[in-house]
Amino acid sequence: MKNDKIIKIIRVAKKYYESHMDQKIIAQEEGISVSTVSRMLKKAEEMGYIKITVEYPVLSNEELSDSLQKRYGLKKVFLVPKLSSTSIAVQEDVCRAAAKDLSSYLKDGSIIGTAWGRTMKSFANYISDLGVKNVKVVQLNGKTNLTSVPVGADDLSQAIARAGCGEAYVIPAPVAVDSAEIADMLKQERNISAALTLGRDCQIALFGIGNLSRNTILYHSGSLKEEDFVELEKKGAVGDVCTCFFNASGEAVSSSFSRRRISLTLEELKKIPCKIGVASGLEKKEALHGALLGGYIDILYADEELGKEILNY
């Protein structure tokens, strides 16, 4: 397409979207038909010159939130109304609401622990200036066994560290190794031990809720092997937080995977004063219910449909 044609398309688009001119007026000024104006606007969108976004506040369903908060004795519940039929859009709204509130839980010098996963990768996109400084961000579990799998671990910890004018710390090891003996040795290694110790000193923990499924990053990366999955399923595991699995009653599930895992334990996680859980999607209902019963969440951000399912238990 010639430059003069492109310039005309851009000029029409600016008149319509920036100057809010009527299409009939634009057509008269440009000496073209109204239908041509419409086609040029569509072409501008196709060429990427126009990006339409819907900016809106993320609100909470207060009645449902209050009911859920009282039932489980939580410090806060924020249930986001479902404004879209797509699971990604719902997840993004939940993450956006939680990210907006993050600064209210932090102060200068806070230590915040994070986990990785699809939810936390989405969460990282909404982190902005937190209004604090010298924040320390530490990952609470090791990384996946495949570096090619995008888990959002570095994205989230670095985003929070930048927004909190602080530093990010990682556990320089896989989330699970080949044997319990290797795991025990690695936990004594200076850098890994230091990261785990910092994790235990967190005032705040931020994590998604994982359900036991073969459609997870943990499984697809090979960190959770098929034999691990079968064993956990037989032992009644329904979900995990920070790759620590629990059953429907919220009790920790002992397994080969748990003995080979490099992360904080559920008991250590429970001792962190402020635990922020973020979840969306009805497939998480069993896992979220178990996490609430186990006392692994103090503050919950979720979608209202998931909240209703939990209240129906």
CA distance 160 to 217: 22
User: Which amino acid is it at 232?
Assistant: L
Helices (H) and strands (E) in the chain, counts: 15, 10
Q: How far apart are CA 267 and CA 307, in angstroms?
A: 25
Nearest partner of 114 among 53, 190, 198, 192, judged by Cα:
198
The mean pLDDT of 219-235, rounded to a whole number, is: 95
H helix runs in the chain, sequence order? 3-17, 23-30, 34-46, 62-72, 87-101, 118-124, 153-163, 180-188, 190-200, 217-220, 226-234, 256-260, 266-270, 285-294, 304-311
Q: Quick check: 246 pLDDT over 60? A: yes
pLDDT at residue 221 is higher than 90? no
Name residue 188's amino acid: Q
In sequence order, what are the beta bridge partners of 167?
136
Confidence grade of residue 151 (pLDDT, cut at 50, 70, 90)? low
For 157-179, letters b (16+ CB in 10 Å) and e give bbbbbbbbebebbbbebbbbbee
List the structure tokens of 56. Answer: 């809106």
Q: Which letter, b or e, does each residue of 58-69 get, where b requires 16 or more Cβ atoms within 10 Å of its Cβ? A: bebbeebbebbb
Question: Which pLDDT band, with edges at 50, 70 and 90, does 144 fall under?
Answer: confident
Task: Go through the domains of the chain in sequence order and give each one's CATH number.
Answer: 3-46 (1.10.10), 62-311 (3.40.50.1360)
Per-residue pLDDT tens digits for 78-105 = 999 988 888 999 999 999 999 999 999 9
- C-alpha atoms less than 13 angstroms from C-alpha of 306 in its C-beta half-sphere: 27
> How high is the mean pLDDT of the chain?
93
Are 166 and 137 a contacting pair, CB within 8 Å?
Answer: yes
Q: State the Rg of the chain over Cα.
A: 24
CB 175 within 8 A of CB 82: no
SS3 308: helix
Question: What integer pLDDT is reported at residue 148 of this predicted model?
Answer: 43
Q: Residue 119 has which token pair? A: 């939810």
